[in-house]
Structure 1
Amino acid sequence: MSVEAQAAPRSGSSGPAGPGVRRSVAALRGLGLLATLAALVLVGLLSVWLGTRGIPVTSTWNALWQPDGSEASVIIHEYRIPRTVLGLLVGVALGLSGALMQSLTRNPLADPGLLGVSLGASTGVVVAIAFFGVGTALGYVWFAFLGAAAASVLVYVLGSSGRTLATPDRLVVAGAAVTAVLFAFSSAVLLLNPRAFDQFRFWTVGSLAGRNTDIVLIALPFVAVGLLLALGLAPSLNALAMGDEAGRALGVNVGRTRVLGAVAVMLLCGAATAAAGPIAFVGLVVPHVARFVVGPDQRWVLAYSMLFAPVLLIGADVLGRVLGSPGEIQVGIVTAFLGAPLFIALCRRRKLVML
């Protein structure tokens, strides 16, 4: 039995931990959320201030609140603010989709790419470039989202074929199969079309640069709907952590929860990948950090994941600009360098079980 299965009954009981202790723990977790929110505001301000073009703090602050058409004002309002807002949306989406994936599949190594969503989005971009001649990020985003949606639906159909419901194991196997097929198709198209490969390799690194307000507005509704779905599923995910039978005994509609969870992952991961390209390790590492801080309760894990992830992503983007000056290092590269050691450290500190 998983740790979550053991911990969940205790969390709602009136055992040794009395109401006063539970209130204190909840208060500490709430303060932790406020501290994380403050950290998010700080990295957001740093993202607006720091860049390849140096702008003094006072000029940044004045241009932020009183745009005057100056060069600094244009840079801040047309480039850095949309980039920071997109980092916020993509971070929230990756953090929530990673936590959902790990909970739905009860697999601590699951990430948003496990159901083929990320590779579906990448395949959509390959098709857009190779067959439709699309050459802008704004054009990619629709094809990427359609590819992510198509891959998600295909995985769920394959995972629920026959008379049985889509179980975590069946979904993982179906996701692996669809991912292999999409990877083979994309590789074949790119190898046969050097021009498409030349364009695609810049998108596939994962970056927040070069994205404008139009892409933010496209991604926003998908992330908002996925966020509401994910947070609404938190109580059901706590019950499912004890197993499908126990979840049904507690009144959870297992099939409905899995379908809505898959839809939320598709919306969140699809929108994030379409807008910024595939960004590794954020969806994998952040939920583990959240569980390390707050324990197994999915309500808190989802809440912390949706704040930790944009802190990591925007912070990595700022770090890439600082280290790569006068150019920049793409955020997908920075998150890989930051996420891999962090994940190894988590593996060494504790046994990776589904908490």
Structure 2
Amino acid sequence: MGAEVSVPARIDQRPRGPVPEGASAGSEHLAAVPRPSAKPGNRRALAGIPVVLAVLAVVCFASLAFGARPISFETLIAALTDFDPANGDHAVVHSRIPRTVAALLVGAALGVAGAAMQGVARNPLADPGILGVNAGAALAVVTGIYVFGISNLTGYIWFAFVGAAVAAVVVYGIASLGREGATPIKLALAGAALTAGLSSLMNAFLVSSQDTLDAFRFWQVGNVSGRGWDVILPVVPFIAVGLLITLLTGRILNNLSLGDDVARGLGQKVGLSRAITALGVVILCGAATALAGPIAFVGLVIPHMVRAFTGPDYRWILPFSLVLAPVLLLGADIVGRLIALPGEVQAGIMTAIIGAPVFIWLVRRRKAAGL
């Protein structure tokens, strides 16, 4: 009698589990698809929270101390704790507080908006500047100045909101044409094309009206200097609402990062999810652009820096972008004050100098456009 050969029973490799409500037929395997998780990076992220907060605090103090008139640390503390109106150094410190607060608000808005745009578009090149949102807001503000004579921030805000929303809808609509839909590459190309077109229209307005050019030229380059509390306070509620909406979309963005089909299989309403995220992004971009002008690359660079130590989980990416983006904008503003004394280089120019090499590196990455 020959030796018996033990044949292992066939193992069914199909993942098992309940089918989510609303899943299409044949999509049972979606129930077993793991959602994005950064558990190995959770410890790093938790350990990084006090570090990034400390860095933000240091940069804020540096923003108050450095400039055409440097302030010592002792004088800075005295100006903040025991203000003397007759002391010139104390007055300088207090004059820099609105500028620092403006950079904090604009940086937080652009950083969170950029991270959310990259998640909802599944495109690592997504950014309010690259996808045409900032250009739409800027053109709308120029239109308000040229056609309606708007000269105050309250008017800028509403025009910036409308322009940002229209630009976002147009870019997504153009990229959605065709069989493949809104792919990452098509979104980037549509955003670049729309930015070029809107910039041409904006220049046409500016060259035809000297008054419009004078009102717009310093705002156009992106700057946080010269912003008083009368300009900052009207924007705070909009940025607060935009941050609240967007920061709550972390789980939504995690599902969307798996692809539309998988997200639907997990029971998520993809269209509604994108609409909610887009609403938060438009509010943030409109408010930030109205306050400081079109500042580029902050929303592009920061999310990639954050992913290096948090992993792909947007529940971590969004709050870390909220903290680190102001660090970049404040740092750019500080450097701009120091490299051209007694004058200064606007923060929007400095962020472009920092962000452009990073953008080129991302474009040259073989897999960047397909993430």
Q: Tell me whether 1:233 sits opposite 2:249 in the alignment.
A: yes
Give the counterpart of 1:65 among 70, 73, 81: 81
TM-score relative to the length of structure 1 = 0.84
In 1: Cα distance, 2:47 partner to 2:65 partner:
27
1:340-355 map, 5 Å = 340-344=356-360, 351-352=367-368
Deviation at 1:198, TM superposition (A): 3.5
Aligned equivalent of 1:9: 34
Aligned mates of 2:126, 2:362 — CA distance in 1: 15
In the alignment, structure 1 residue 260 sits paired with structure 2 residue 276: yes
Q: Give the match for residue 27 of structure 2.
A: none
User: Shift in Å at residue 178 of structure 1?
Assistant: 5.2
Match in the other structure for 1:323: 339
Alpha-carbon distance between aligned partners in 1 of 2:165 and 2:136, rounded to the nearest angstrom: 8
**1:141–1:215 contact (8 Å) kept in structure 2:** no
Deviation at 1:144, TM superposition (A): 2.8
Structure 2 counterpart of 1:280, which letter? A
SS in 2 for 1:9: coil
d(CA) in 1 for partners of 2:212 and 2:319? 39
Matches within 5 A, 1:112-151: 112-135=128-151, 140-151=156-167
Give how far 1:239 is off.
1.1
Change (3 A) 1:208 1:304: same
The one of 312, 319, 322 equivalent to 1:303 is 319
Q: Counterpart amino acid of 2:342?
A: P
Alpha-carbon RMSD across the aligned residues, in angstroms, is: 3.1
CA drift of 1:334 comes to 1.0
1:294 to 299, 307, 310: 310
Q: Cα distance, 1:142 vs. partner? A: 4.3
Please tell me whether the aligned partners of residues 103 and 354 of structure 1 are also in contact (alpha carbons under 8 angstroms).
no
Contact 1:104–1:168, Cα closer than 8 Å, also in 2:
no
The answer for the alignment partner of 1:76 in structure 2 is: 93
Which whole-Å CA distance do the structure 1 matches of 2:362 and 2:130 have between them? 20
Aligned length: 337
**Equivalent residue, structure 2, for 1:16:** none
The aligned amino acid for 1:116 is G
- Is 1:199 aligned to residue 205 of structure 2? no
Identity %: 48
Alpha-carbon distance between aligned partners in 2 of 1:207 and 1:273, rounded to the nearest angstrom: 10
User: Scaled by the length of structure 2, what TM-score is found?
Assistant: 0.80
Structure 2 counterpart of 1:9, one-letter code: P
Corresponding residue for 1:86?
102
Q: Deviation at 1:175? A: 5.1
- The residue aligned with 2:71 is 55
Q: Per the alignment, do residues 353 and 171 of structure 1 end up closer, same or farther by CA in structure 2, a change over 3 Å counting?
A: closer
**CA apart distance, 1:285:** 1.1
Of 103-112 and 196-205, deviating more is: 196-205
Gap regions ≥5 residues in structure 1 = 13-20
Post-superposition offset of 1:143: 3.4
Q: Which residue of structure 2 aligns with residue 221 of structure 1?
A: 237
Give the structure with the higher percent helix: 1
Which residues of structure 2 form unaligned runs of 5+?
1-29
Deviations 1:26-49 (CA, angstroms, capped at 9, x unpaired): 222111122111100100011011
- Report the residue type matching 1:76 in the other structure: V
* Structure 2 residue aligned with 1:273: 289
Are the counterparts in 1 of residues 125 and 188 from structure 2 also a CA contact under 8 Å? no
Which is higher, the Rg of structure 1 or of structure 2? 2
- Residue 224 of structure 2 is matched in structure 1 by 208
Alpha carbons of 1:347 and 1:174: their partners in 2 closer, same or farther (altered >3 Å)? closer
Cα gap change, 1:349 to 1:179, in 2 (>3 Å)? closer
Distance 1:307 1:329, change over 3 A: same
